[in-house]
Amino acid sequence: MKTLTFNNGDKMPILGLGTWKSKPGEVYQAILWAIEAGYRHIDCAAIYHNENEVGEAFRKAFADGMVTREELFITSKLWNDCHRKEDVKKGLLKSLSDLKLDYLDLYLVHWPISFKKGVGFAENREEYFTYSDVPLSQTWRGMQAIKAEGLVKHIGMSNFNIAKLKEIIAVGGDGPEMNQVEMHPYLRQEKLVGFCKSNGILMTAYAPLGSGDRSNSIKKADEPNLFEDKQIKSMASKYGVSAAAILLAFSVNREIAVIPKSVNQDRIIQNLEAAEIVFDQEDLEQLLQIKDQYRFIDGTFFTGSKSPYALSDLWESE
């Protein structure tokens, strides 16, 4: 499979299995199916509340000789209540314990949003820290420390815009190596992609299929359906693949990693095949010029009158 290369030469498979929204009781089997199918990149996070079961699948896969630890590239993410420097390592150690691992290949600051310790999801102003309380630079120094300790090989972030990335780079020392954001033909993130590439930061696309299976509480009634877009359907017909495969190959053809989630064995296998699709340049350009634009994960659950944060803390103005 095609890989992306970090500055030190380490490689990450460009297509991985996402585990957001994978329910306990399903994610264990999904991990084993994925490894059996050839996946070597698994994306996890503490807030997904399934890392313990993911870890059980890893333990079985290693014990049965399906794969070695060194052959897998495993990512997890620091949740918002562990942004103080002294809490970063605590957050990491909990994920390592749940995942039954000694180290992670990649660890990301999940959001540029800070909660007080022990808060799963802030519901009022008192449960948030502000940037004055816990500057992002403090969180990043904690990330640098766990990398120096050898507990993680690479560090980065998720859902960071250019302004926040510049703030992290200004800290000095080990800089961000990855930025994971929502990306698909309706949200191409071209400014952000350009900035990351010019600063040696790799990128991963989440919600590449539109995340239609997420909770209704964070969905809007009039959301578009990527699978029904005429250009995407036309390309699926041209290449003899599904619309989902075109959406995944969109990121692969931009040299951006992509992490589709599935707990269905057939789809897990089909998604992996998308990594081998090579677009004609004009087809990629047509996808990059689709007029309809939409952000499915809009971040409004972190903003509003009960929060010190605004959407400008999260997203670029495209």
Catalytic residue set:
48
134 and 84 in contact (C-beta within 8 Å)?
yes
Residue 308, Cβ density class (10 Å: 0-12 exposed, 13-18 middle, ≥19 buried): middle
HSE (side-chain half, CA atoms, 13 Å) at 286:
14
Question: For residue 311, what are the CA distances in angstroms to 193, 216, 304, 315?
Answer: 19, 20, 9, 6
- CA 99 – CA 104 distance, rounded (Å): 9
* Among candidate residues 181, 295, 184, the one with its CA nearest the CA of residue 250: 184
Q: How far apart are CA 120 and CA 204, in angstroms?
A: 24
Rounded to an integer, what distance in angstroms lies between the CA atom of residue 228 and that of residue 234? 10
Residue 48: both structure tokens together:
């997904």
